[in-house]
Chain A
Amino acid sequence: MPAVSKGDGMRGLAVFISDIRNCKSKEAEIKRINKELANIRSKFKGDKLLFIFLLGHDIDFGHMEAVNLLSSNKYTEKQIGYLFISVLVNSNSELIRLINNAIKNDLSSRNPTFMCLALHCIANVGSREMAEAFASEIPRILVAGDTMDSVKQSAALCLLRLYKTSPDLVLMGEWTSRVVHLLNDQHMGVVTAAISLITCLSQKNPMSSRPCVFSLQIVSSASTDLQDYTYYFVPAPWLSCKLLRLLQCRLVECLETILNKAQEPPKSKKVQHSNAKNAILFEAISLIIHYDSEPNLLVRACNQLGQFLQHRETNLRYLALESMCTLASSEFSHEAVKTHIETVINALKTERDVSVRQRAADLLYAMCDRSNAKQIVAEMLSYLETADYSIREEMVLKVAILAEKYAVDYSWYVDTILNLIRIAGDYVSEEVWYRVIQIVINRDDVQGYAAKTVFEALQAPACHENMVKVGGYILGEFGNLIAGDPRSSPLVQFNLLHSKFHLCSVPTRALLLSAYIKFINLFPETKVTIQEVLRCDSQIRNSDVELQQRAVEYLKLSSIASTDVLATVLEEMPPFPERESSILAKLKKKKGPGAVSVTELDDSKREAGELNGGGERAAETASTPSPSADLLGIRSSAPMSAAPAAAGSLLVDVFSEVGPAAPAAAAAAVNNDVNPILLFLVTFKLALSLSRFVCKNNGVLFENQLLQIGIKSEYRQNLGRMYLFYGNKTSVQFASFSTTRLCSLTLCPQLNVQSKPVEPLVEGGAQIQQVLNIECLTDFSDAPLLNIKFRYGGALQNLTLKLPVTINKFFQPTEMASQDFFQRWKQLSQPQQEAQKIFKANHGMDTEVIKAKLLGLGSALLDNVDPNPENYVCAGVIQTKGQQVGCLLRLEPNAQAQMYRLTLRCSKESVSKRLCELLSEQF
């Protein structure tokens, strides 16, 4: 019990608390509280009210009374008032102004205790209004010579809080440099508090200070006048270099000392001793990993962690596994990490704590490469049989990815995935079984094996529905490859599949029906049996529309169509276009960014390239976005011929200009990272987004879970200005944010793009802006690329975007009468001046939409020119620095055929072509 005796007020509270504790039931407690509330209302008691609130009951009165307590002369009342405000008052309360007044009084009271109370209150509430009121006052208190140490400490941290909530209100000034001197303070408490503030300030203002480099700060800050030591406006360059080098070797030395100390015998048996010592060690190791340049230190760190892997403290084993995960991604220490594989596998098997086992699984995933993939995958599979439900899905994804990434022979891959479905079918998501089908279809050397294995797997008495799906799909495509064996003759295959039919859900049944119709094509001898099945009431009169429709259509198809037609309709699936493994995307979505390390992704590009049989084709697909390319992988091209219309419209939705939802959906599926495969997908998507910006200047250029990039642009003559808005969607800051423009060699002499560097830090939830100035020198067809790099949670993010700068942006509209138009039209009659394209409408042929798009293009839309009122004609001049290119355009829609004919005639051949390409994607 505290040494001080309590006053009357306190005794009342103690009685009340005892009463509450003596309450036998919730009802009794509520009754007692209501009585007390009535009591308090009549005679305000802040402390009791506070206790009630802290018990979890809502308090909707008393705020005003608490504010009055702030200005009390009695210390106890003031203290309770402040505590009440800190705990109860939201940052947006209307009382803030009154509270601010009281705080102001206390801050200027010169009484250190009152000042501290006031500072604590500001830090606890930390609202914008408070920042407005005190942001200039607190720095003064902080650096004033006569401020007490305790007040300094509070002021430093209070300022930190204000700076974090409203950085714009905390103005840097003369005090910033004086704050740095707090680090030299004799009082360790002041140093501790100040270092938090300085670290934060220096992260955000490279100018202000770098705590580790005090002296360097003096030479690198522009504000300090070093007189004759300033060499051509560079403050003391020689000294700076020396200092940096000193820092570098001091750092290595310091890290080595810490690693050495770890080997010394402990000075105390207390866990606090080892915790504090190891806290420093882990911090040093994370610094070593961060620098990633000292192989010697990295390996030593790895060995140290290796010792911890066998430590009897669970906490240390946990942390060692966690740190080793990041070490595994460094090329210097990857091999060293791999030497611990047996220990880690053992941890996965024997640890009692599920969170430690999870770290072990993460580490196995991180240390996996071609040399140990088989062992690791086998271990993970066997662990999966007993794994905790909470981590099964993630484990399944990881196994699927490793199997795909490091597959040397495909039979191993197929075996692994089928095993996965067998062991943990419930946790195998669509992405996983889609992927195995994609790969089997694209690789003809594995198809026979896959058919055989899946046939065997289906013979198990109880097999998972996902297995039936994979089985149905693969046998439907490649059942013929094993039909030679009498044990797996066509009818046996069919009967096997059909024996599972009634146990399956509707989507699986639908898939099986498609497999059956494929069987009719593959094996004409099964036709009668299958038609029988389709004809039976439970199919053809099924209450589910989809199943009924399939049964009816397939039945008709099989009885009407000739063998040739059937063979064409039910032909083997063409190879899938290559794309990022959807599984990887899913894992990343699940784990959040940063979970998949950089090297790993590089790696996976290489491997996946092999696995998918040629990145070349991938590149082709990337450059020509066809409207049939789908995001969902298999679904729309699967043999579900019954629903092409639905799939089609889905695609239109995804790619049409439905606003930010579209890129968001696409981004959700890909989550960009440094993975080049992803990059390909992103560029592919961006080719689409580029076309979204042909007819408009503003909108969302890109969006994923981390980052949103908005764009606003304006053009005049041959000049343009583009505003890019980078928004951080997370709550964590992006560090080392930078952008680089990449112009291809051909583009450089055509387009001149200038920009200033962006802020290197983007706070969580914040947005920064970048302005690009664009000058069109001559006509062009490429788009400039913008590369964006930043660190998010330690992982480097890298992203390349196409900037939507297209030639039509430099259009000047030209109004002209019908006569003039056709006269000029005839003048531009050389065949190479004309570009024409006839294409199918991708969107609805709504007049207003077409008009809006043509206007957005930048040229003048001319009414009453074309004799046919259905047609649209436009005229304009493209302004480049070197020349002006006159352009005439005619768009003839044919509503009946849902087709357009687009004709362009320009005074320059290349412009006609480019405009024709750009425009034909718009309608």
Chain B
Amino acid sequence: MMRFLLLFSRQGKLRLQKWYTPLSEREKKKIIRDMTTMVLARQPRTCNFLHWKDLKIIYKRYASLYFCLGVESEENELLGLEVIHRYVELLDKYFGNVCELDIIFNFEKAYFILDEFLMSGEIQETSKQTINRCIENSDMLQELSY
């Protein structure tokens, strides 16, 4: 099971946070701090996995953004890496060549896309087409409601 997904910039600015277990604000802040310091301190071309407490941390940098996924210890690291990649692909497909600014200005979309992809810390839907159709549908609804 996945425990959390964080997106932050090279400067350590948090861009997206998603928690799959109930945590207090304090605990969340602590994890965010630990993750940003740990991940940002890593040299380039090192491996993408870390151990942190009883979790495996899988991170990957896409341009200026770091994606950092915390999973339970029985999870598969490589697959975790591909979860991140699939999410990036989904964002890319929706925004068309996604960049950090897209996520800043349309953070709610980033959350909705993530919700279609993952839920309760598990994979809900992996098909790019299906997810995109869902998001498009809700965008249509948005249009109609105005």
Q: Does B109 contact A (CB under 8 A)?
A: yes
Contact B82 A276 (CB under 8 A): yes
Q: Does A526 contact B (CB under 8 A)?
A: no
Q: Which residues of A contact B11 (CB under 8 A)?
A: none
Shortest beta-carbon distance from A852 to chain B in Å: 42
Contact B102 A1 (CB under 8 A): yes
Contact A193 B46 (CB under 8 A): no
Contact B95 A2 (CB under 8 A): yes
Q: Does A83 contact B (CB under 8 A)?
A: yes
The 8 Å CB contact of A352, one of B45, B123, B139, is B45
Give the interface of B toward A (CB within 8 A): 14, 16-17, 20, 22, 24, 43, 45-51, 54, 72-73, 76-79, 81-82, 85, 94-96, 102, 104-109, 111-112, 115, 119-127, 130, 134, 137-139, 141-146
Contact A193 B122 (CB under 8 A): yes
13 more A-B residue pairs beyond the given contacts A2-B139, A76-B146, with a C-beta to C-beta distance below 8 A = A21-B104, A50-B107, A87-B111, A113-B141, A116-B134, A153-B124, A154-B124, A192-B125, A275-B78, A315-B77, A315-B78, A356-B47, A592-B54
Q: Which of A147-175 contact B (CB under 8 A)?
A: 150, 153-154, 157-158, 160-161, 164-165
Shortest beta-carbon distance from B79 to chain A in Å: 4
Q: Which of A43-82 contact B (CB under 8 A)?
A: 47, 50-51, 54-56, 73-76, 79-80
Q: Which of A1-15 contact B (CB under 8 A)?
A: 1-4, 7, 14
How many A residues touch B, CB cutoff 8 Å? 66
Contact A355 B127 (CB under 8 A): no
Contact A315 B130 (CB under 8 A): no
Contact A1 B96 (CB under 8 A): yes
Contact B54 A731 (CB under 8 A): yes
Q: Which residues of A contact B20 (CB under 8 A)?
A: 161
Known: A4-B143, A126-B22. A793 touches B73 (CB 8 A): yes
Q: Which residues of B contact A80 (CB under 8 A)?
A: 108
Contact A157 B79 (CB under 8 A): no
Q: Which residues of B contact A113 (CB under 8 A)?
A: 137-138, 141
Interface residue stretch chosen among A278-286, A662-670, A744-752: A278-286
Contact A192 B124 (CB under 8 A): yes
**Complex CA–CA separation, A150 to B124 (angstroms):** 9
Contact A315 B124 (CB under 8 A): no
**Complex CA–CA separation, A317 to B14 (angstroms):** 31
List the A residue with the shortest CB-CB distance to B48. Answer: A315
Known: A276-B79, A279-B79. A315 touches B49 (CB 8 A): yes
Q: Does A520 contact B (CB under 8 A)?
A: no
Interface string of A175-205 (1 = CB under 8 A from B): 0000000000000110011001000000000
Contact A157 B124 (CB under 8 A): yes
Contact A272 B105 (CB under 8 A): no
Q: Which of A785-839 contact B (CB under 8 A)?
A: 793
Contact A314 B45 (CB under 8 A): yes
Q: Which residues of A contact B47 (CB under 8 A)?
A: 314-315, 317-318, 353, 355-356
Contact A352 B46 (CB under 8 A): yes
Q: Which residues of B contact A47 (CB under 8 A)?
A: 108
Contact A189 B77 (CB under 8 A): no
**Complex CA–CA separation, A211 to B78 (angstroms):** 23
Contact B120 A123 (CB under 8 A): yes
Q: Does A508 contact B (CB under 8 A)?
A: no
Contact A120 B119 (CB under 8 A): yes
Interface string of A295-323 (1 = CB under 8 A from B): 00000000000000000001101110000
Contact A7 B76 (CB under 8 A): no
Q: Does A637 contact B (CB under 8 A)?
A: no
**Complex CA–CA separation, A623 to B98 (angstroms):** 70
8 A-B pairs with C-beta separation under 8 A: A2-B139, A79-B138, A153-B119, A153-B125, A160-B120, A319-B77, A352-B46, A354-B46
Known: A83-B108, A355-B47. A732 touches B54 (CB 8 A): yes
Shortest beta-carbon distance from B125 to chain A in Å: 4
Contact B104 A75 (CB under 8 A): no
Shortest beta-carbon distance from B53 to chain A in Å: 9
Q: Which residues of B contact A120 (CB under 8 A)?
A: 115, 119
Q: Does A127 contact B (CB under 8 A)?
A: yes
Contact A157 B122 (CB under 8 A): yes
Q: Does A17 contact B (CB under 8 A)?
A: yes
Contact A75 B142 (CB under 8 A): yes
Shortest beta-carbon distance from A290 to chain B in Å: 10
Q: Which residues of A contact B22 (CB under 8 A)?
A: 90-91, 126-127, 165
Q: Which residues of A contact B144 (CB under 8 A)?
A: 75
Contact B78 A319 (CB under 8 A): yes
Shortest beta-carbon distance from B62 to chain A in Å: 13
Q: Which residues of B contact A3 (CB under 8 A)?
A: 139
**Complex CA–CA separation, A775 to B124 (angstroms):** 54
List the A residue with the shortest CB-CB distance to B122. Answer: A196
Q: Which of A727-750 contact B (CB under 8 A)?
A: 730-732
Interface string of A266-279 (1 = CB under 8 A from B): 00000010011011
Contact A193 B78 (CB under 8 A): no
Contact A54 B73 (CB under 8 A): no
Contact A193 B124 (CB under 8 A): yes
Known: A75-B141, A154-B119. A1 touches B95 (CB 8 A): yes
**Complex CA–CA separation, A634 to B16 (angstroms):** 53
Q: Which 9 A-B pairs have the closest CB atoms?
A: A279-B78, A353-B46, A161-B120, A196-B122, A279-B79, A157-B119, A314-B47, A75-B141, A318-B47
Shortest beta-carbon distance from B5 to chain A in Å: 13
List the A residue with the shortest CB-CB distance to B135. Answer: A2
Known: A154-B119, A282-B78. A75 touches B43 (CB 8 A): no
List the A residue with the shortest CB-CB distance to B96. Answer: A1
**Complex CA–CA separation, A278 to B82 (angstroms):** 11
The 8 Å CB contact of B46, one of A4, A157, A278, A314, is A314
Q: Which residues of A contact B130 (CB under 8 A)?
A: 150, 189
**Complex CA–CA separation, A317 to B123 (angstroms):** 27
Shortest beta-carbon distance from A638 to chain B in Å: 36
Contact B125 A189 (CB under 8 A): yes
**Complex CA–CA separation, A73 to B109 (angstroms):** 20
List the A residue with the shortest CB-CB distance to B109. Answer: A2
